A = this chain, B = another copy of it.
Amino acid sequence: MPRPVVLLDPHPRRAGSIFDPGQMRRLHALADVVTEDIDGRLPAALVEAALPRISAVLGQTDLPAERIARAPRLRAVINVEGNFLPNVDAGACAARGIEILSVAPVFAVPVAEMALGLALDLARGITAGDRAMREGKEAYGRFGCAGSVLLSRARIGLVGFGNLGRALRRLLEGFRPKILVHDPWLPASAIADESCRACGLDELLETSDVVFLLAGATRDNPGFIDAEALAKMRDGAILVLASRAAIVDFPALLAEAGRLRIATDVFPQEPVPADDPVRRSQMLLSSHRAGGIPAAFQDMGERVLDDLGLVLRGLPPMRLQRANPQTMALMRSTPGREGAMPKPAGAA
């Protein structure tokens, strides 16, 4: 049997940000690799020439039906960017049983830990307390923590229960919480299997002490967390936005900061304009820093290689997420934003 061939076309990432040297050796042991180390997509000529031989694509290569038709050995397209472009013909892949896989799972634990950290910060006033000490305005002991609350045994609502929601649920185990989940794409039983309770969005918002917004942005849900939804939440309740800014009516969110304790890792426009009032708001602010940590990229290389190995052996992939053609068509995330920086400042 000839050695399998894979096309490596990671732009906007670089191969070196996905595979460390050991992982790169493991990749070359699995397959011959067609690639070029450039800051951009692979040249069309290179792609076209490779199509007849490749068993897998690692990257965001344009794959219209015509190209898929010219790649008879192709078994898997592994998107390494996190979001899907509309440049792969999902129907043509389905019609050939070609797996479309996403690295999204690598961000689940990093974002979940950040979301928990933001919630604990709001529950205990960690950032505010540090600021107070630097300004000489701190209060000590119980006078300093009148509004502090526990997450242990709290009533926690998760809006969205994909990889991220599941990872967060797992982190919360030790807190013995009551977890409500709203996810219209899941049957109640799948939620009960994870020891959570499915419920409607209104009940979740009205009764939760802490709400995590973890839903992806779809064609159908822009701004569904709007002023009316936010108004259902209790005074002092905690709200952490950890998925996509597009699911929230951001001005309404800003208007509730103070009555609610709010943290966000995402913004409608990134970089946030220098004079955006959110910068001076009572929200706890994080500049889209929840997912892209070094451990996620380390994990990405490992998961890609694990599933590439399985797929090349004719076994089902286990560690990446299978893209579903129907849900892919619904998703509305803009890729390529990582690393964007505010105008006035250099990278950290």
Contacts and interface: CB of A to CB of B under 8 A. Distances in A.
B293 A150 contact: yes
Contacts of A170: 174
A306 B130 contact: no
Count of identical protomers in the assembly: 4
Nearest to A190: B318
A186 B120 CA distance: 30
A93 to B, nearest CB: 8
Nearest to A272: B133
**Chain A interface: which size bin?**
35 or more
A134 B287 contact: no
A97 B96 CA distance: 8
B133 A347 contact: no
Contacts of A173: 173-174
9 contacts: A113-B175, A124-B289, A126-B286, A129-B289, A144-B288, A148-B289, A185-B315, A187-B318, A314-B327
A88 interface: no
Interface string A314-337: 111011001011110000000001
Contacts of A148: 110, 289, 293-295
B314 A138 contact: no
Contact of A130 (B152, B274, B285, B315): B285
A288 B148 CA distance: 13
B289 A141 contact: yes
Contact of A286 (B129, B274, B302, B348): B129
Residue among A126, A186, A270, A272 with max Cβ neighbours from chain B (10 Å) = A126
Interface in A150-181: 150-152, 170-176
Q: Can you list the 10 inter-chain pairs with the closest CB atoms, starting with the nearest? A: A94-B97, A117-B120, A142-B292, A141-B338, A314-B326, A138-B287, A187-B306, A173-B174, A148-B293, A133-B285
